[in-house]
Structures are given as structure tokens and as C-alpha cells.
Structure 1
């Protein structure tokens, strides 16, 4: 039962959807196995019963570091069914980070695969037990070995909307991971906004190309439950899976710049044959996009183009475009604030700036986390009005459209002058032979830092020298001092599984 001020929880939404469209396919894995909503509900109850037999119940804290497959999506719902507090962990994190997360979040049970992706998670788990006496470990058995028991506890929804149900950790590309406490209401509010912006419906098929343990994975779970759509689950993202994605009837392709660029690369190899014939739009978020990407998607992949949003672990999808927005807005902005969300731009002193002025992006509203596990972080992360200081730079125009211009920490300081890495990246990304680019500040005795452009070329294209690059950047409107002073061509730019460039790793390679 719900109290008068309580909206349905994620489990109650799942339960309702499974009753509304029980025979509709909900989940499909890369091997062709499918689950209808009715199948999903039955599996969830079975897994919940099994977890209950392991001592898991309401408010138990359960971390899970599982691949993006049918079992992980079932586990998430089963833990919702039991009222547990979930701590999803990104698969690429290892012993130091996983141990830190389990200690800080006071995890009762850690669910791991055995060996996956060439890494022995079970062995890592055993090592963690030596340093955390309160932690229990469970290597996930095969689905056929999951036995339910009689007496599954009745589901009781928490009375308070701000009840913590999730602890999501940042990926830690620039600093140690931070645990953000979230409630179901934040996840569902974000999902409602995304369903409306993308006009998602039961006919849509969406590939889960990034780790399901990312907050975006759970938001997509909620979104597809709300609209009755279908998810295609991919354990690892690779070009050899695009044919199966097309066969599944992908209609909304995500989920960020690096994924979209991979689609474009393959589409250019077969220009006469649409890669995804049913594509309505591509989605972005989690990393910045070059302004020409929207037109490339619309022209080459099809649909309305690139519909991106802005958010982070602490506040998923604060702003987002819609499938009905004009091309110039879709190309250059991350949309406008989603329903209920507030966005402001402030200077270094925290003072609100006017439209058109660049400053730090600050966020407030129903999608925002309830704070960090480490309460000390809240003191500097939130301002006196309750806004989260994002650490990102941006501009709001007079109509509320947000353009992200870079990171506060992603500024190259050359001879005391600040250079925006993103501004340089956007200029180079428009070059016809450039497939991907990132710009990194490299230490230099004379200048303090210099800008190094790390470039992946389009297939079959030849590179250029530093002088040619500088001339092109000047033509794109960069100042002379903003032009890169070093260039490196690579086959691949290092990214984490969420698609974000890991600049610290890249910097280490450049300075080795």
C-alpha cells in the first residue's frame, strides 16, 4: 500500500507493467534469448526468493558487479522487490575501488560473476573478504541453479519518497569515485522525462550498449518499463554486434558520442545499406559531442538526428533535447531543463550569471541525489540554495537552452592563459578526415602546459602535420595561442566502458 504522499516505487511500476502487457517481449540478449514481461516477473520473484534465502531483505545493502545480461536485469528487479538498497558497481573497477565502495557503503552482500571478460571476479572477491570482515560474497550461479523457496515476504513500499534505494558511484575518471545516494523517485522522474522527450513507446527497441550498472542503465530500465518497450542487452559493445542490433529492429540508438561515432564508421563502409533501418533517433549523454555530429547522424544514419541530454551520476539527465527540437538546437545544445529541474550558471564566487555568460553549471530538482555517502563532500558539492555544483562549464541562453563548454578541471593553462580543451576539440572535429579527437594539456617547462591533439583518422585517410592542423584551426576561429602545439595519431582513444575519455590514462601515455 502507498501512503497519501507516495508515488509508486520502481518495483510497483515493474509489477504493473508486467500485468498490463504480459506477453510483450521486454528483454532480448545478444544470443537471441528473450523474456516477455510475464517471464521477467516470474524470474524476478524466483531470484527474490533465492536472495531472501541468503538473508537479504528490506534495507539490506547489496552490491552487484555483473555484466549487462538477462541475469543482471533480473537481479536489479529482485532487489527492488525485496526493498534492498542496491550498490551497482561498474565492471571495469577492480579490487581497490570495489573494496572502497563496499567498505564505505557498508555492503552486506557482494554479487559477482565468476570469470568474465578474461578477469577473475571471484578471485578478487576472495581478496576483498580478507580486508572486510562484514562482507559476504556470492558468485552468481547459472540461471537454472537459482531455486526459489516458499514464503517470499510481502512487498511493503517505503513511506518516505526520499527513502534511499540506490547508491551509485561515479566512474572516477578524474578523481576517486564518490557514492551518490538516490531514491526511486529520482530514477522514475528522470525516466518519465526521457520517455516524453524521445516519445518512447511499446514499439521501440533500445540497445543497452553501456554497463547496466551505470545509473543510465537503471534509468533505461525504468523508462522501458514505463513505455512497454524492449531492451537489447549487449555484454560488450563491438562492431561485430551491429548486424544483430539491426536484426532486432533498433529504433533508438545510444548512448553517447563514442558509440555514435562507431555506428557512423560502419555506416560509411556501407553507404547504400542503412545500418539501422528502423532508427528514429540517436541519443547522447555522459560526454560532450562535436557540433557536427547531429547532422552526420541525421544524414548518414537517419531519423531526426542526435537527441542528447546533460547529466551525471549525481543528477541523471538534468536537461535534454526532444525529437521535435529544431536542428540548430539539437546540434549545439544539450536541450532545456527537464520538468521540475532547475539550472543556473554561476561564476567562481557562486554568483548567478546572466544568459549567454559562461560559468559553472549548477543543478537542482527531483532528479538530484540526496547527497553523498561521505557527508563531508556535501559541504562543497552543494551551495546554500541546494544546487549541485557540477564541475562543468556551460552557457544558458535566454530561452533556457544549455550548451556545455567544458570541465572546470579540463582547462589547459598555457603561459597563464586558460584554453578550453573542448573548444579546440570542436574545431578539430569538423576536419573531414578526423573520426575522433580529444585534446589534453601536457606539462611543458616553457609554457606550463601545451595543448596536444590526439586524433583518430577516418578509415583510409592520411594524416597531416602540425602546421596544417594549426592553419585549419585558425580557419575555424581559434586564436593562435589556442592551436595545438603537439599532435599524435592513434588507432583508439582510451575510454571507460561508459564512453568517457580517460584523460589521465592518455596523459600518462603521452608523458611516458
Structure 2
């Protein structure tokens, strides 16, 4: 009885502390407040291939080292408002650089590490970045050479601990106090051929991370994991969660199973996930083991979002892995919109995206923006503190916010009487593969330049492992057999398209289906035809 009471009191105290910290004005204030509370508690653990090379950073070390890195950046010329782009893998050094920039009050533009010339060049040009941090040669690709090839300014490497700039923090000005100024530019391909720069503030990121943290009912005894790109909007989302509840996460520079499993096991990870693709990969490893043996013995919760979750995946995880699965809904524009909670009903966890946090307003409308009756399907629109400030291109902001300030998501769904959100489709023509948005138009525009392609449509097809796979459907102009999946992917690589966007399925047709009025390609017919391909 005494133990239970103590545990309950401790949990209540942790929750109260987390909610109090969530009121921090800036990310740097949040870091300082957490470091003052638990300076010696671990926050980041780098899992290496050789356990002897694992590294750990405490909350106190995070604060102190970030100040020194910030001072080094300041001496390089980085000032409040200076735009700094960085394209770095999921490493302790990446977190140090990012939060050092937050200490200065710089504007930072994270770029996913597997983006190449097309996307990186666009991000650098549009953001007008004055500095660009890269990992050097990483996974066989020379990012430094690419940066110089693109004419980037202020290029420096920041992969290893000793690469980071270092100086006496006494040179620094006071930390920023305003959490509502735009200090983050995240990139999303959306539904157009070029990426869109999404503008965030410290407060919008704290609000998104708070939604995730409070929904999952976390404890200081938990051990999380980051196996996704830290440059993704999920990076600050997850880090805010660590800062609020004071527990650590294991960082994986490269998520590949079964190789990464040893890191999960030796560090006793209790909370893992990322997206539907991650759930499927863990399930595949679980199914290799004898009955009664768990793939990660300490795991109690899989959590994630970023891609549709079939109900059967939820049931398979609970049944076969012996842990809970909670799934949420977020996007680059709104890092966390709704999230499932571990103590919710199996029905809600399997079939909905969870509940919104306090302050997140969800409006479901028809195409003209009029609210539809309760429970009816419509377009999902959002308003709240976690919503971005718009886009780098003001014209795009005008198009995406309605007259009442609601963000038009392009996603379709309805809200249950319980408040749970159910997504039923997407109005936007965007493919979500392993949690990453892929613009169909970008690929189509490149395919139309191929001399053997008469016309092309790119669609997303359901895939148990990836969420969706990319399928290119082509009307062939040249001789039969001239176009193959191999030749098409080689061509797209040559045009600078990132590997994760490459089609995984090719269908050559005599004619694309079109409507009788505007001759618009009927993609839903293609999805119906090739879904089982």
C-alpha cells in the first residue's frame, strides 16, 4: 500500500512539473529549467555499432555544452535572426548545434539528411541561409562537396564532437525571451513540385511536443528512442517531451533492423516507434522469435504518426509484441494535432488518430469552408498554438489559411462524439511513404521530360511496410519494352531526385483514364486498378 501511494504521488508530481515546464516561453528557457531540476539525469544516449562507443549526455551537460557551442557560433558571426541551415544525421552533435542556435536566437532551417541537390539547393536559396552545417562524407555521400557545388555560404562540418565551434559563453548576449518570433523553417514537399518553407516559433514547437508528451502518460523511469531524422519536425517534438518529463532517449544514427535491436535491448528502451513502417519492421522481427520471447523485452509502448495506420497493425502489435500501440496525427505545419493515449479503448486506438490537446480547435468543413454536421466527413481544418505561422512564401500562406485563421490541411475525416478524430482520406495529392511526404507532381514533372514518356501519373498505393509505395503509371511514347522500372529510376536519379522518392512500381498503360470535361486524369481509378500490384 505504501509503495503504491508513493508511486502515485511521484507520478502526480512529475505531471505537475511537466505541465509547469510546458509554459516556458522559449526552448532555451525550457532547457535551462530542466537542467536546473535534474542536471545529472541523462537526456541523450548515442547508440553505436560497438557498445564501447556509446555516449551519454546529461541535461546539465546539454545546457553547458550548448552555451559553449553557441559562443563559438557567435564568434563565427551567427547573431539573433541569422539564418543557419543544417543537414545532419540523428546524433548528439546535431542536438547540440540546434539548441545552441536556439540559445542565440538564430533562425534555423533543418534539412533532412537524405535530401540531395534539388531540395537542398531550393532550401538554401529560399531561406537565404548565411551558414550551412553538414556532416562531411556521410553514408558514402559527400555533403560538403554538394554544399560547395550549390554555392552555399558559410559551409562548416558539424558531425563529430570536436567539429562543433567552442568558445567562452561570456561573449553571448542574453538568451531570447520572445517565444512567438519565427525561428524555425521546416521543409515539406506538400502537393507542389517545390518544397514549402514552414515557419515555426519556439512556442508552436513546445505546444506540439507537449501534446505528445501528455497523451503518452510518460514517466521519469521511461527510456525513449529517436530512430527518425532529427531534422524532421519530430526532432523538437520528441526533445520537448524529454525536457518536460526528464527522461532520456537513445539516438540511432541509422535505423536498420535487426542491427539496431541490440541498442534497444542494451539500453532498456521502453518507448519506441516512429511511423507505421516502424511498427511493421518491429513486427517482422518479433515474428522471427520463438513463442514467449519479446523482440525488445523492456518495451511497453510503440508510438508514432506520420502515415496511415491500418487497424490490423494495432491489433497485431498488441497481440504479438505484448505492448501498447498509440498513433497520432501531425504534419510539418502542425507537429502534433491529435494523439492516442495508452489507457484509451482498443477500438479508439485501432480506428482513430486520438484526441486533440486542450487549445487545439478542429473544424470539419465542406469544400467551401462551411462546417458539416457532427460526425460527417469533410476537410479537416485546425487552429491552435501548435499551428505554424504560415510559409516562407506569403502567397502560399494566403492559400492555406481560411478567413477565420484555420489551417486547411487537405485531409478528410470526421470527429466522433467522444472527440476522437478519424481520418478517411486526403484531398491533397501527396504520397506518404515511411512518414515522409512525397509530391506526385514533382516526380510527374520530371517524367514528362523523358523522351519515351507520353504522359504520366504518380500515385500512392497501400503498402503494409511503408504505409504507401510510389507507383508511376505511364503512357509510353517509344517502342514497347523501352521503359522499365530500372530505367525510370536511373533517369530520375540522374535528374537529382532523392532516393526515398523513387517509384517502387511501374505500370505502362495504353491510355490514362480521364474525365469527360477537363480531361483530368482520374487517379482514383489507377489506385483501384493497381492497388494489388
Normalising by structure 1, what TM-score?
Answer: 0.79
* Residue among 495, 503, 506 paired with 1:506: 503
Q: CA deviation at 1:158?
A: 3.4
* Residue among 135, 144, 156 paired with 1:138: 156
2:369 is aligned to 350
CA distance in 1, matches of 2:499, 2:192: 8
Matched, 1:165 2:193: no
CA distance in 2, matches of 1:258, 1:219: 19
Matched, 1:181 2:199: yes
Q: CA deviation at 1:302?
A: 2.2
* Residue among 241, 251, 268 paired with 2:287: 268
CA distance in 1, matches of 2:60, 2:467: 45
- Rate the CA distance shift 1:178–1:253 in 2: closer, same or farther, 3 A: same
CA distance in 2, matches of 1:8, 1:242: 37
CA contact (8 A) 2:40 2:60 kept: yes
Relative contact order (alpha carbons < 8 A, sep ≥ 6): 1 or 2 greater? 2
3-state SS of 2:263 partner:
helix
What does residue range 188-267 of structure 1 map to in structure 2 within 5 Å?
188-239=206-257, 240-267=259-286
Q: CA deviation at 1:282?
A: 0.9
CA contact (8 A) 2:69 2:165 kept: yes
1:74 is aligned to 96
1:98 is aligned to 120
Q: CA deviation at 1:202?
A: 1.7
3-state SS of 1:353 partner:
coil
Q: CA deviation at 1:147?
A: 5.3
* Residue among 23, 36, 43 paired with 1:19: 36
Q: Mean alpha-carbon deviation: is it higher for 229-238 or for 32-41?
A: 32-41
Matched, 1:384 2:375: no
- Rate the CA distance shift 1:435–1:167 in 2: closer, same or farther, 3 A: closer
2:175 is aligned to 156
CA contact (8 A) 2:337 2:357 kept: yes
Structure 1 residue runs without a partner (length 5+) = 1-5, 413-420, 446-487, 489-500
Q: CA deviation at 1:328?
A: 0.2
CA distance in 1, matches of 2:404, 2:304: 29
CA distance in 1, matches of 2:230, 2:198: 17
- Rate the CA distance shift 1:42–1:439 in 2: closer, same or farther, 3 A: closer
Q: CA deviation at 1:142?
A: 3.4
2:300 is aligned to 280
CA contact (8 A) 2:471 2:507 kept: no
Q: CA deviation at 1:438?
A: 4.0
CA distance in 2, matches of 1:24, 1:194: 21
Q: CA deviation at 1:509?
A: 3.4
CA distance in 2, matches of 1:315, 1:358: 21
Matched, 1:309 2:331: no
Q: CA deviation at 1:172?
A: 5.2
CA distance in 2, matches of 1:38, 1:87: 26
Matched, 1:89 2:111: yes
3-state SS of 2:287 partner:
helix
Matched, 1:318 2:315: no
Tell me the alpha carbon deviations over residues 386-436 of structure 1, each in whole angstroms, 9 at most, x when there is no partner. 111111111222222111112214599xxxxxxxx99x94xxx8xxxx766
- Rate the CA distance shift 1:117–1:442 in 2: closer, same or farther, 3 A: closer
Q: CA deviation at 1:156?
A: 3.1
Note the aligned Cα RMSD (angstroms): 2.6
- Rate the CA distance shift 1:145–1:91 in 2: closer, same or farther, 3 A: closer
Normalising by structure 2, what TM-score?
Answer: 0.76
CA contact (8 A) 2:39 2:58 kept: yes
CA distance in 1, matches of 2:159, 2:335: 32
- Rate the CA distance shift 1:188–1:440 in 2: closer, same or farther, 3 A: closer
